[in-house]
Amino acid sequence: MNWAFWLPLLIVLSSLLAALVIFILPEEKTKTRIGLNIGAALLKIVLVAIMLWGVHSGYQFETRLPLLPGLELVLRADTLAMLFVALSAGLWLLTTVYAIGYLEDSPHRSRFFGFFGLCVTATVGVALAGNLITFLLFYELLTLATYPLIIHRGTEAARKAGRTYLIYTLAGGALLLIGTVWLYTLTGTLEFTARGFLSTLDSMHHPALIIIFVLLITGLGVKAALFPLHGWLPQAMVAPAPVSALLHAVAVVKAGAFGIIRVIYDVFGIEFSASLGVTLPLAIVASVTIIYASVRALFQDDLKRRLAFSTVSQVSYITLGVAIVGPLATIGGIVHLVHQGVMKITLFFCAGNLAETLGIHKVSEMSGVGRRMPWTMAAFTIGAFGMIGAPPLAGFISKWYLGLGALQAGQDWVIFVLAGSTLLNAAYFLPILYAAWFGKSTGSWPNERNIGRYETSLALLIPPVITAILAVLLGLLASVPFSPLEWTRLITSLEYTP
Amino acid sequence: MNLIFDTHWVMMLILLPLFGAVACFLWSRQAVTLGLITAVSVLLSVIALTLQVLEQGTLRYAVGGWGAPLGIDLYVDGLSLLMLIVTAVVGVAISVYSSAYFKPGKAKHYWPLWMFLWAALNSLFLSADIFNLYVTLELMGLAAVALVALSGSASALAAAMRYLLISLLGSLFYLMGVALLYHAYGTVDIALLAQQVESSPAVWAAIGLMVTGLLLKIALFPLHFWLPAAHSSAPAPVSALLSALVVKASFYILLRLWLDVFPEANLALSYLLGLLGASAIIWGGIQALYQTRLKLLIAYSTVMQIGYLFLAFPLASIIGWKAVFYLLLSHAIAKTAMFMAAGNILFYGGHDQIADLDRVAQRLPITLTAFGLAGISLMGLPPSGGFIAKWLLLEAIILSGQWWWAIILIAGGLLTGAYVFKVIGFAFTQAEVPHEPRMVPKRMEWVTLTVAVLAIMLGFMAPQLLALMDLGAPFGETMS
């Protein structure tokens, strides 16, 4: 019992305990709730920073608690986990600030922030999970914690979206469960191990392993919104903006993508997966998702729905990078986990600002909005260019490595997917930017409210500006030590046999 | 002399609730206080017994010093101990709940009956012979029927009457089986029978009768027809008792007989039981989904969850038995919380129409949280006792190679999700409260939540509980 044992647990508990206290807090105690929210988020960041430093200096952090005979609840800080933990902790703070501003004076805030905290707890648990059963545990907890956030508004549409979400995710969770138990009966262990733990298994089990692979990836693919399992995501847009931001950038979608990374690298092992012949089909599914969702995004007039399809497309970059067998593609895929998160959260914050301040929900209403809300639209522009993959932004780095990786692995066709996706991204983002900056304003907005002295309240403005700056810095300073890219190189070096 | 290790706690477990019943009957004005005192002392006795058994191993106690075959033997192993523990935990919770739930007029009838039921349950779990099991089964049935009739409404009386007939019929079948076995082997002691019973027509007839009688009482599909009416028309604490404990007691007898007395189980019969279980899961789940009243929904959910218990029969593996036994414990706790929650909602709004729940649900956040937590366990989502059970059961299924049960298991989980969330979804809608509500006593809400949290906590107690199950190796020797 020491720091190495307690730190991972504390990182999970910091938001859990805050959430539980917030649940029982009376609605009118706004100050206490804000204090708790921000305090817990800051505490988590400090703890994560300590752990990051520790992992970098070679310390092993691991929490083990008995769960079942032969199986333990394991929280372990390996390099891959740290990438996701740091992302969640950082973006949680910003989203919390944003959500406090966004939900000012709206009802049921205790309930909202309670589940919000649970959601982050589950995400961090997913990140730190040291074996598949722990992962599964937090993965399902995530489903349960996000459902109340999606139906928070309580309208008929919200309940319908919540129902769709549950049908998809519970079914996905069930597949994941079967795959996990099956795997356990074959191997007797579920411990994540760099380069996987299955390659030593007798080759007569290989057909079973392929089925297990399909079960696990399908189960995870629901949350990662792989085509054709993405149906819930655009519907879930009825949720309040901070929830969408969190769902798309950090929590749900990323948990799925992160799970795919874990399964391929630390359960099957990338080289063993390739020898099973399962990576190419996955790369094809990811590519289809990328193109299909981009095409769908073109035709959405609802801004949040357009962003949602964009998420479906962009998250599949991660899967694609993972499924192309090669170190450079792996770097591109994994680093996109962070890059996409930072860029997409910027876009959703901005969309929320437009809706909250001016009542703008549709792309067609955005004409000339750049002059009314310059800071918001500047951040939006950076996010959009990042998504398109323009240098020197974060998105460019991901695409560059994905492209190089594809060539390195001899999968030249991927270049066409990337190029096509870039064009489509440009096609659905540039008209928005053009209209916002150069379009004529009609002078009146659907539902304008004056909040704050600036273009909107500071709590709503500062988070997207920070994330936009981050998106630039992640691209410019990509090779600085501790940057996600450098960290990803470290992860990748562990996953391939030298 | 060591107080914990030398006291005959097994006797205390039978005598305490029995005295409690008499006391509640005699001093009916103090029934609530007396009942609560009894409940707590039973819980303490169970804890003491657990310590005793952990120290000294399985325990066989001859009442009055007369051993088998003449006297009555009591036997404690992991299986009976866990049943006693869960009964005590549920019992205390229900006692606290009932202390606020019943008006004085009803309370004076309720408490003696409930204490009597508890005594019957405890003696059932402790019985070491099949005749004694019959006697306790009958006592339990009678107490349960009286409790169902307690609310006095026409529908409750009709349900109670039907329940009485079914209960008697079930016991009768069981008794005939006992008679056949006694005639063939001259003993009713489970341990002695276990050594002697061999496959023969008489034995098979006995098995057929006993299994049929017990299935009727367990309410396994298609013999479940009496359960929804009986469980849903009873007062909430009684519904909880019936679903959590009474039905399980009959299953406990079946499990004991199957594991110890019946000769190497018949493959066809075990598959039949598995098949009925699977049908119960699907049928019960679909029925639950279509109910318009909350208590009926929960009752059908019990029909469904009972089905899971029978999936272990065709698997016939230690891990399978442990899985369903874990499920039994988790379900007992979760279902208690769920019926209590339904009771709170009914208490508050005066009805349990699911379509109108949105008017009630938001005013009872604690109750609804409890319902949700219990639901998580029923769905088998982590972290909860239900998840541990589902994990083990899935493991047993895959190890046996009979993968088709896995499909049933998963389908059942999704069906449960569908009907649990059908209820929970209402908590988030915005609706007006049209009528004057009746405030739910704080005690009732908090005890509901406590039990629900316990259902979740069961997800973290698996190593200890599974180790307890191994005591006396009721499921056969584990390889370790």
- B398 and A182: CB-CB below 8 Å? yes
Provide mean pLDDT across the span B140-161: 90
Does the beta carbon of B463 lie under 8 angstroms from any beta carbon of chain A? yes
Indicate if the pLDDT at residue B119 is higher than 90.
yes
Cβ within 8 Å, pair B391-A181: yes
In angstroms, the separation between the Cα of residue B339 and the nearest Cα of chain A is: 22
Q: At CA A411, angle to CA A409 and CA A416, rounded to 5? A: 135
Contact A144 B381 (CB under 8 A): yes
**pLDDT at position B1 over 70:** no
**Residue B17 resides in a domain:** no
Our CA-based measurement puts residue B110 at a distance from the nearest CA of chain A, in whole angstroms, of 34
Write the pLDDT tens digit of every residue in A183-206: 999 988 888 888 888 888 888 888
* pLDDT at residue A454 is higher than 80: no
In a domain, B455, yes or no: yes
CB contacts of A143 in chain B (<8 Å) are 381
Return the percentage of chain A with pLDDT > 70, whole number.
99
- Between chain A and chain B, the number of residue pairs with CB atoms below 8 A apart is 73
pLDDT at B67: 62
> Are B421 and A163 inside 8 Å of each other by CB?
yes
Give dist(CA B393, CA B317) in Å, integer: 10
| CA-based nearest residue to A386, from A423, A348, A342 | A342
Q: What is the ipTM of this complex?
A: 0.89
Residue B208: inside a domain = no
Mean pLDDT to the nearest integer, B45-62? 88
Farthest CA pair distance, chain B: 68
Q: Of A141, A163, A181, which is closest to B395 when you measure between CB atoms? A: A181
Quick one: pLDDT band at residue B164, thresholds 50, 70, 90?
very high
Chain B hits for A218, CB-CB cut-off 8 Å, are none
pLDDT in tens, B187-211: 888 888 888 888 888 888 999 999 9
Determine the Cα–Cα distance for residues A170 and B111; give it in Å rounded to an integer: 42
Residues of B in contact with A163 (CB under 8 A): 421, 425
Domain residues for B467? 282-480
Residue B316 pLDDT greater than 90, yes or no: no
The pTM of this model reads 0.92
Look-up of token digits 């992640």: A474
Our CA-based measurement puts residue A383 at a distance from the nearest CA of chain B, in whole angstroms, of 33
If one compares B232 and B86, the residue with the highest pLDDT of the two is B86
How far A159 CA sits from the closest chain B CA (Å)? 7
3-state secondary structure of A65: strand
Task: Flag whether pLDDT at A382 surpasses 80.
Answer: yes
3-state secondary structure of B62: strand
d(CA A14, CA A22): 12
The residue-averaged pLDDT of A398-410 equals 88
Count up the domains in chain B and report the number.
1
In a domain, B343, yes or no: yes
User: Residues in chain B, how many?
Assistant: 480
Among the partner-chain residues A65, A136, A148, the one whose CB lies closest to the CB of B382 is A136
Q: List CB contacts of B73: < 8 A, sequence separation 6 or more.
A: B60, B61, B62, B63, B67, B128, B129, B189
Q: Do B382 and A171 touch (CB under 8 A)?
A: no
Q: What is the pLDDT of residue B479?
A: 43
How far does A367 lie from chain B, in Å, by closest CA? 35
User: Could you tell me if B425 lies within 8 Å of chain A, comparing CB atoms?
Assistant: yes
pLDDT in tens, B283-311: 999 999 999 899 999 999 999 999 999 99
> What is the average pLDDT value for chain A, to the nearest integer?
87
Say what the pLDDT of residue B480 is: 36
Contact status of B453 with chain A (Cβ, < 8 Å): no
Pairing status of strand A62-68 against strand A71-76: antiparallel
End-to-end alpha carbon distance in chain B: 36
How many Cβ atoms are within 10 Å of B263's Cβ, its own excluded?
14
Nearest CA in chain A to B389: A68
B272 by Cβ neighbours in 10 Å (0-12 / 13-18 / 19+) ranks as middle
CB A333 within 8 A of CB A261: yes
Which of B392, B398, B428 faces A151 most closely, judged by CB atoms?
B428
Q: How far is A352 from chain B (nearest CA, A)?
A: 22
Share of chain A above pLDDT 90, in %: 19
Asked if A61 contacts A17 with a C-beta cutoff of 8 angstroms, the reply is: no
Q: State the best of B421, B446, B464 to mutate against chain A, taking most chain A CBs within 10 Å.
A: B421
- Phi first, then psi: what are they for A73, rounded to 5°? -85, 115
Residue B161 lies in a domain: no
Does residue B163 lie within any of the structural domains?
A: no
From the CA of B66, how many Å to the nearest CA of chain A?
A: 40
Cβ–Cβ of A166/B399 closer than 8 Å?
Answer: no
Region B323-350: what's the mean pLDDT?
Answer: 92
Is residue A160 pLDDT above 90, yes or no? no
**In this complex, do B399 and A162 lie within 8 Å of one another by their Cβ atoms?**
no
- Distance CA(B153)–CA(B155), nearest Å, equals 6
Q: Note whether A140 contacts B394, CB cutoff 8 Å.
A: no
Which of A57-66, A144-153, A279-288, B2-11 comes out lowest in average pLDDT?
Answer: B2-11
Task: Determine, for residues B414 and A171 on separate chains, whether the beta-carbon distance falls below 8 Å.
Answer: yes
Q: What single-letter DSSP state applies at residue B234?
A: S
The set of residues, in sequence order, having a beta carbon less than 8 Å from that of A31 and lying 6+ positions away, is none
Of B413, B414, B428, the CB nearest to A148: B428
Structure confidence at residue B238 (pLDDT): 94
Question: What is the pLDDT at residue B286?
Answer: 94
Q: Which residues from chain A sit within 8 angstroms of residue B395, using beta carbons?
A: 181, 184-185
What is the per-residue pLDDT for B432? 63
Which of B394, B399, B466 minimises the CB distance to A177?
A: B394
Is B429 in the A-facing interface, judged by CB distances under 8 Å?
Answer: yes
Query: Residue A187 burial by CB count (10 A; 0-12/13-18/19+): exposed, middle or buried?
Result: middle
Cβ atoms of B401 and B267 within 8 Å: the answer is: no
pLDDT at B377: 93
Query: Which residues in A have their CB inside 8 Å of a CB on B?
Result: 23, 65-69, 111, 133, 136-137, 140-141, 143-144, 147-148, 151-152, 154, 158-159, 162-163, 166, 170-171, 173-174, 177-178, 181-182, 184-185
| Region A87-102 average pLDDT | 88
Q: Least CB-CB distance to B430: which of A23, A141, A154? A: A154
